Structure 1
């Protein structure tokens, strides 16, 4: 099966490529097409049509997106809404025009209401106000997911399904403090403290907010599995752990893996963000899958990538 993977240079995309390269299990026989932006501009529908006409893939994994942290989303809501909704529309409609009947769309847990009761179930989408700091991005992700759903409703032969991962970390993550998310930022912060002999590390807020982070290699495994069993997938499916940890526990786990024995100091003047965002895994468990990588194992693999710039799986 020839599969077009968008977003091949991102963390999820790179992990999917590593998974397919092993050519075992559900990945056996898959051939990935992962063109760069310079080869196929996802903001240009005609470029997508030309690519699909030339390569004729059998399926699509849409993992591309304009992404960024809270500050970037606040500063550029027009860009995050417009580019993500255009990419999603161009990829999904391009696939439909080309007659491609299998498509996996990667969404985000930010599609859930900001005040939704945890754990967040798939049927809670569009039942409440979104988190204002990334509302534009969330609207674009909801629109793309709904488009996939509508296409499948109009013609059930088109199996266009949306996966909603929880927060991710792992190999090919970004460790620059300006652009990184929590776990890679904590790894970089504690590694620097250890290297410099610092006696304490600062934690923003009280550290009691809870977060759910899955190892990106596990998400890649599931994407490949989901593509192989796409007929059995519902229109929307969370991909998460079903449990979470406090910010303090993540700092402690990273310190343990790094061998850092310094102290932690809480800056209570800094923001803590949402107190919890945990996705429901009831549908995922019914599908027969759970993430195999423990937090410690995932952190060790991520640290290895951070230190060496390559994986050794």
Structure 2
């Protein structure tokens, strides 16, 4: 056994994929629910770490939401995510935990940053206004880990910055889901109801990088065994992207829908591209193993199991 691992956010998509990964068997995993451990309560977090004495902390928890939720509640997104990051990092450090992995977000990159997004670009320009509060909280937690490293070189407190994710345990509710689970749901309904056409917002040429969540779990648990070799902050991604049209096409093949796509050019499409640079990841010697076709097939099977139960 590698030791005792405290995983925050253990019931979320990333946390559940980490817990289900083969490498997780190397650890005694503590994954308290938010009811058991309120991460916004500094005293509760301090006491939990003092009582359980983990060897490693993986911080995967956070308050997340779509554009509308972020714009409507910027105070809570900033305050709650800042509190969670500060409380877990400081309680770990002051409690003698020498190893911590902080999971961040590509929303930390400036709105106008050039692709591919490199780690040194963070704080080089204004953030995307629609989720600025969430992004600022993630930047604060990353910087806190870096400052701890400056004061205490023996503390291996590192930040991983994943690209967009999809996969098992994703949210498929059309009102709350991200692109790929929404596409899966839409095309499944189209097949089941005999729709001949499915509409894509915009012209479908915007490009996005989506990695299978099981691959992120692999990277995180490998990092847990090799923290000393990591830089202070590192993107985790594919190093390549696909167009929105490509995602729809591959999903249609996986699901077995054979209709035609139309495009509503009046609808917003967002940024034309969001691609992570993977130079540091490649130097570390890791790459994702799951193809888009395989990942979508596994995700669709999971969707079918969820909707039938």
Verify same fold: TM over 0.5. yes
Quote how far apart the aligned CAs of 1:90 are: 0.4
Distance across 2 between alignment mates of 1:164 and 1:154: 23
Residue 194 of structure 2 is matched in structure 1 by 197
Equivalent residue, structure 1, for 2:14: 12
How many residues are matched? 305
Q: Aligned-pair distance for 1:309?
A: 2.9
| In 1: Cα distance, 2:65 partner to 2:204 partner | 22
**Separation in 1, partners of 2:204, 2:277:** 23
Matched, 1:160 2:157: yes
For the residue of structure 2 that corresponds to 1:168, the secondary structure is: strand
1:12-67 Cα deviation digits (max 9, x unpaired): 00000001xx3x5xx45311100001100000011111111111111100000000
Q: CA deviation at 1:76?
A: 1.1
1:242 aligns with 2:244: no
Q: 1:83, 1:114 → 2: CA distance?
A: 23
Unaligned runs of 5+ residues in structure 2 are none
SS of aligned partner of 1:309: helix
Q: Distance in 2 between matches of 1:192 and 1:38?
A: 35
What pairs up with 1:1-313 in 2 under 5 angstroms?
A: 1-19=3-21, 22=22, 24=23, 27-309=24-306
- Structure 2: distance between partners of 1:55 and 1:175: 35
CA drift at 1:72: 1.1
The two structures have a TM-score, normalised by structure 2, of 0.97
Deviations 1:263-310 (A, max 9, x none): 111111111011111000011000001000000000001001100139
Q: Distance in 2 between matches of 1:145 and 1:77?
A: 20
Q: State the alpha-carbon separation in 2 of the partners of residues 271 and 298 from structure 1.
A: 27
TM-score (norm 1): 0.96
How far off its partner does 1:140 sit?
0.5
